[in-house]
């Protein structure tokens, strides 16, 4: 399995900025060169510059510049442009655009060929190579990595943390472990929500992960950030008070982001643990990526949707499920609340009215939803428990409130 470890960067800011500025300059040079070759006047047919040709031409054009980065770090900056083209081409139907902007900064990448591991008396160090004649950069590895029975560093990135306003090392390590075999062949449906982060079911039992602290943390972040911005707007930009408020804002955003990330990891672990407990081989995850596309929402609703980190939650669930040998598939949630959960019926009817019913299996917990009864099969229940995929044909589902 490949894991990414985040380590603090102790490089002076001017040195880290020089590395990322050089990567941005090389990436911009590749963009400009490719555009000029493709749009060259006087040619009857446009010429598409390949990645290998762009690397050789870029090295030739930059031959007189003072060296700073390792040769393969330069290649990584040049190849990033063509990776962006491939991604944009695959997502043209979603409105993706090809890269066209110049970059002043770019994450510097060290490939495996530019990384050496050195054992010292105080611990294990990573030696990140730079240009010939320059001393390598030293990064100390924590014992959590070096104590693994079989580990190998595949890549290192120097990433600027926008929230914390400092640089961070992203060390990509292969720990030598293989994914576990699938626990079984059952199917578990997972519905991501803005109020409750996840609701899981295997067709006979439903677990609602009610980690409301995630939403509360996001709302407090927006409220506190608005207050700091109001205070900062009354100060002169660049003054001592203005800079002090900016530092407070940076610390607060970094702290809140760490809290939310910890809660999201807790929720994703609970979801995968439920799937492993039910011996599932597949997790059917509701696709909510377009939940806010093309919609005009109120101010409160817009804040809720914009702070809902469903994409990151989906990534966490997918990575943990793959480590447990479980496959994750995305399921379209269109008209799910209108469709009868009975697999033999599948009748669609638009719900009308919102009621609150007491479910006996919930031990006094009230579930708010739309009571619907399918005219075809006579099935009656709560549409709030109709998740993306129902693997079983049970007429009723029990729910358990689980607080992480």
Per-10-residue mean pLDDT of the chain, 404 residues long, equals 88 93 94 90 81 90 88 92 92 88 93 90 88 90 85 92 87 84 87 87 84 89 94 93 92 91 92 91 86 79 85 91 90 72 66 48 36 51 41 34 38
Place of tokens 């939940």: 291
Q: What is the pLDDT of residue 158?
A: 95
Check residue 404 and give its pLDDT: 36
In three-state secondary structure terms, 60 is helix
Look at residue 382 in the predicted model and tell me its pLDDT: 42
State how far the Cα of 163 lies from the Cα of 181, in Å rounded to an integer.
38
In the chain, where are the structural domains located? 10-106, 109-174, 186-327, 337-386
**Angle subtended at Cα 347 by Cα 346 and Cα 353, rounded to the nearest 5 degrees:** 120
Q: How far apart are CA 390 and CA 377, in angstroms?
A: 16
Residue 172: the pLDDT is: 92
104 phi and psi angles, rounded to 5 deg:
-85, -25
Predicted local confidence at residue 243, as pLDDT: 93
**What confidence score (pLDDT) does residue 46 get?**
82
Q: Is 80 helix (H, G, I), strand (E, B) or coil?
A: helix
pTM of the model: 0.73
Model pLDDT, residue 343: 60
pLDDT of the residue at 318 = 92
Phi, psi of 330, deg, nearest 5: -90, 135
pLDDT of amino acid 11: 92
CA angle 171-173-175, nearest 5°? 155
Pairing of strands 355-358, 380-382: unpaired
**SS3 label, residue 159:** strand
The sign of the dihedral angle between the CA atoms of 224, 229, 230, 231 is positive
- Residues 205 and 398: their CA atoms lie apart, in Å, by 5
Distances (CA, A) of 190 to 81, 92, 268, 270: 36, 29, 11, 11
Residue spans of alpha helices (H) in 149-298: 212-233, 240-277
- DSSP letters for 292-335: TTT----HHHHHHHHT--HHHHHHHHHHHHHHTT-EEEEEE-TT
Give the pLDDT confidence of 74-128 residue by residue, as tens digits: 999 999 999 999 999 999 988 889 999 999 999 999 999 999 998 888 888 899 9
């Amino acid at each position: 399995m490949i894991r990414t470890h985040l380590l603090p960067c102790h490089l002076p800011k001017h040195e880290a900025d020089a590395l990322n500025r050089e990567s941005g300059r090389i990436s911009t040079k590749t963009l400009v060169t490719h555009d000029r070759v493709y749009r060259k006047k006087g040619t009857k047919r446009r010429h598409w510059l390949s990645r290998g040709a762009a690397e050789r031409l870029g090295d030739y054009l930059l031959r007189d510049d003072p060296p700073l980065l390792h040769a393969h770090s330069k290649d990584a900056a040049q190849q990033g442009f063509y990776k962006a083209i491939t991604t944009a081409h695959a997502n043209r139907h979603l409105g993706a655009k090809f890269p066209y902007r110049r970059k002043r900064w770019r994450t510097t990448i060290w490939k495996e060929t530019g990384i050496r591991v050195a054992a010292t008396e105080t611990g294990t160090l990573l030696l990140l190579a730079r240009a010939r004649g320059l001393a390598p950069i030293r990064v100390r590895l924590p014992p959590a990595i070096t104590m693994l029975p079989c580990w190998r560093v595949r890549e290192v990135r120097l990433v600027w943390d926008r929230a914390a306003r400092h640089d961070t090392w992203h060390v990509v390590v292969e720990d030598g472990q293989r994914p576990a075999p699938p626990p079984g062949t059952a199917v578990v449906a997972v519905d991501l929500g803005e109020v409750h982060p996840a609701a899981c079911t295997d067709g006979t039992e439903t677990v609602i992960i009610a980690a409301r602290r995630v939403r509360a943390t996001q709302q407090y972040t927006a409220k506190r950030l608005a207050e700091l911005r109001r205070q900062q707007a009354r100060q002169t930009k660049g003054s001592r008070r203005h800079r002090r408020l900016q530092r407070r804002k940076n610390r607060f955003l970094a702290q809140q982001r760490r809290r939310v990330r910890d809660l999201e990891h807790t929720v994703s672990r609970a979801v995968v643990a439920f799937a492993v407990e039910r011996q599932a081989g597949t997790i059917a995850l509701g696709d909510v990526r377009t939940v806010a596309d093309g919609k005009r929402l109120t101010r409160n609703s817009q804040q809720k949707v914009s702070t809902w980190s469903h994409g990151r939650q989906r990534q966490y669930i997918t990575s943990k499920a793959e480590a447990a040998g479980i496959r994750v598939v995305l399921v379209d949630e269109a008209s799910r609340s209108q469709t009868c959960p009975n697999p033999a019926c599948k009748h669609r009817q638009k719900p009308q009215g919102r009621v609150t019913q007491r479910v006996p299996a919930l031990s006094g917990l009230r579930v708010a939803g739309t009571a619907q009864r399918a005219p075809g099969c006579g099935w009656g229940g709560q549409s709030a428990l109709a998740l993306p995929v129902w693997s079983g044909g049970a007429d009723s589902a029990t729910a358990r409130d689980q607080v992480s």
